[in-house]
Amino acid sequence: MNIYHAVIDHVNPPKRLADAVRVKSTLLKETGSLSIYKIPLEENKINITGCKYFHYGKEAKRPKSNRTIMVLGATGAGKSTLINGMINYILGVEWGDSFRFQIVDDGEAKSQAESQTSDVTVYRIHHREGFAMDCSLTIVDTPGFGDTRGIDRDREIIEQLRNLFSAPNGVRDIDAVCFVAQASLARLTHSQRYVFDSVLAIFGKDVAENIRILVTFA
């Protein structure tokens, strides 16, 4: 944390949630005119094969309701950028702000041929005053499908999801399944169709009404 900011924020506490979160976050890098901060996450040990669980903030004594969304997408579709965008919106970051938050590594320095993570990662963002929504949010972030490791890797990811949603200490409910797709791709690839069908097999046809396609220009 910048010492100057720390002193100023102690004398004049931030009024916006986004500013308060920035004070507690770690500066990762400067990109043009934007400062990129990583919000402080704590890991919950869940002992589910192929899965990790992190949370931000603390659950209130009278907790708000929670919404859970799962984000799926091919490697390089822009899934990480989309999730980071969701977090910035929830925390009240405005377009004109000189900073952004990040919870998912954008993998700029890594190969785009393979997914940047091998784990299904759960992010639980506990509601607090100043949120842009009146509930807590749980994001289930999946590894990228369709990378150079082929269909066998896609099958592994589906099995990881099955583990997460069947374990007693895993994720029990899901409110929406978001498929991230590049605008330049007019049709579902073989890998995307396999994932789509597999998700329906895990959650049943009822989840079909809550599937959303999110188009990016990645």
In this structure, the number of other CB atoms found within 10 A of the CB of residue 101 comes to 21
Residue 70 lies in a domain: yes
Enclosing domain of residue 205:
39-95+118-216
Count how many domains the chain has.
1
Asked if residue 59 belongs to a domain, the reply is: yes
User: In this structure, are residues 183 and 74 in contact, taking their beta carbons and an 8 Å threshold?
Assistant: no
Q: What type of residue sits at position 164?
A: L
Question: 58: domain CATH number?
Answer: 3.40.50.300
Q: Which residue has the higher pLDDT, 98 or 5?
A: 98
15 inside domain: no
The residue written with tokens 């010492």 in the block is 3
Please report whether residue 181 resides in a domain.
yes
DSSP the chain: --HHHHHHHHHS--SSHHHHHHHHSEEEEEETTEEEEE---EEE----TTEEEEEES---SSPPPEEEEEEEEBTTSSHHHHHHHHHHHHTT--TT-SEEEESS---TTS-TTS-S-SSEEEEEE---TT-SSSSEEEEEEPPPBS-TT-HHHHHHHHHHHHHHHHSTTS----SEEEEEEETT--S--HHHHHHHHHHHHHH-GGGGGGEEEEEE--
- Quote the pTM value: 0.84
**pLDDT (tens digit, 9 = 90+) per residue, 30-87?**
999 999 999 999 999 999 999 999 999 988 777 789 999 999 988 888 889 999 999 9
80 in any annotated domain? yes
Does residue 101 lie in a domain region? Answer: no
pLDDT of residue 203: 84
Strands 42-44 and 120-125: unpaired
Is 183 part of any domain?
yes
Residue of 124 and 117 predicted with greater confidence: 124
Dist. CA 53–CA 33, nearest whole Å: 32
Exposure class string for 37-57: b at 16+ Cβ within 10 A, else e: bebeeeeeeeebebbbbbbbb
- pLDDT bucket at 28, cuts 50 / 70 / 90: very high
Residue range 193-217, pLDDT digits in tens = 888 888 888 888 778 888 888 888 7
Q: Is residue 122 part of a domain?
A: yes
